[in-house]
Chain A
Amino acid sequence: MNSRKLKIHLFTGFKTGILLLFFIFFMLPIVWVALTSIKRPVEQMAIPPIWFPEQPVFDSYLTLFQNPDFATSLVNSLLISGVATLITIVIGAIAAYSIERFRTGGRMLPNLLLMTRMIPPVVVIVPIFLLAYRVNLLDTYVLLIITYSALNMALIIWLLRSFFAQLPVEMEEAAMIDGCSRIGLFFRIVLPVVMPGIAAAGLICFIFCWNEFLFAVTLTGSHTKTMPVLTSTFVSERGLDRGLMSASGLVSSLPVIVLTIVFQRYLVSGLTQGSVK
């Protein structure tokens, strides 16, 4: 190996080393939580702290799974995020196609939509809470589902619009000449082509709904509590049960982490499409 090659390899190794340090930084808190969740209470409270439990115990997970709120919250999270995503994608896709193909609403509409993304959630939560309180909608699925759809609608329309924009008009015209109706065209030609885009948008919408906390904690009660809300109750109520806190945190993040790793490609395309252009 000549010295030039060695130098290049050394440089590559150096850069990889920096990335490795960042990797440790990004993994450290997650690893700490994972280790805390399998420690015995004595080990959780040890000073100085110990990294690895002598013998892993899964009591925290058992306590979590036996908590009657756990199953409810998990089902609620899945149901609310799932339905909200479905509604947002269906309504959003039709709107995005119309805006992109027919220029519905001119240039104003897309920009107005984008502006709604800038509204801080804390600002709208008081009136939404008061209204829901008056009409007895607190602690219902409908309330949270509609709220989540609205929160993500603008982003999803923008995202899907950029995916529809990549679709050549000629393709649609050819199908129209062959006697395809507008509706048939949308479902048979347009949708299959933009499916990856729809998948990306759906994934992002689902994750955002799953992660949402502010609206969930104010608008839900014991019936419609979601996973982040459940996790937060372990923080405030029994701040000392760090095992339960960790276990709940990990379990509620697990679906999102798995989705991220499996569908990384879609996520990247969705995140970069929507905003860079």
Chain B
Amino acid sequence: MKELLKVDNITTGYEDNKILTDISFSVNKGEFLGIIGKNGAGKSTLLKALRGFLPVKQGSIRLFDRELSEYQQWELAAKIAYLQQQIELTFDYTARDMVLAGRYPYMKWYEQPGEKDIEITEACMKYTGVLELADTPIRAMSGGQRQRVLLAKILAQQTPVLFLDEPAAGLDLFYQEEIFRFCQEMCSRGKTVIMVVHELNLAARYCSRVMLINNGNIIADDVPQSVLTDQLLTKAYGVDIRSLINPETGHADIFTVPTKLDANKQQLLDIIVGMDENGAEGNGES
């Protein structure tokens, strides 16, 4: 397999705040890599550093056997498409406007979108099922529709590598699974996907490889069944986690083990719900 991205001993973060230290790994063509870990572990930071949005203080990132820092902005945008965690729009841009933005790296500054760009844009919208919504303002769409538009946009960018930062956040089960299935299809056609994931059950089913990050370090990086284990997940997430193979799917089902409320919490809860000392519910008239 061809090595597409090689990360060697990098340290990165914001200003003086180092978030990731001494990270090394490489990604091959066609892989579907899920990056997991608890909130604040450094997953999105890693993705931003790999795309060149954050300064790398030490170490090197090589993409297609060339230093990331040697790429021009537009060259990088033609190699990696990036789906951000959230996007806030001020104006009522339509789906078509948004998807067309994906063609930006391929046009000279004075050029206007041509027939080819429009053809690609429409094919991408058709593929993700939003062609009927082409002239609908994105702000008027549901979360799922919006995400389909953004997927169409990163497809229109026609890059060999796709980065997705928590693309399934806030979506219902149907849309969540759709995104994973979509990425799997892309990988089977030779694209490489790196995705920050919170949906561990879906990662178990769809990702070809899972990387577990904790406190700015990689603590496991392997096929899903080797990473999504009770021991590793419990360590990384700080709660008791079980991973069982589901006989229906043949993949791991991951869930937390319920913990009993301690006495302190119990007392606080009594105050919050308004129970008096005798355990009777107060009605505010006594």
Co-complex (A, B): no
Binding site for A on B (CB under 8 A): none
Binding site for B on A (CB under 8 A): none
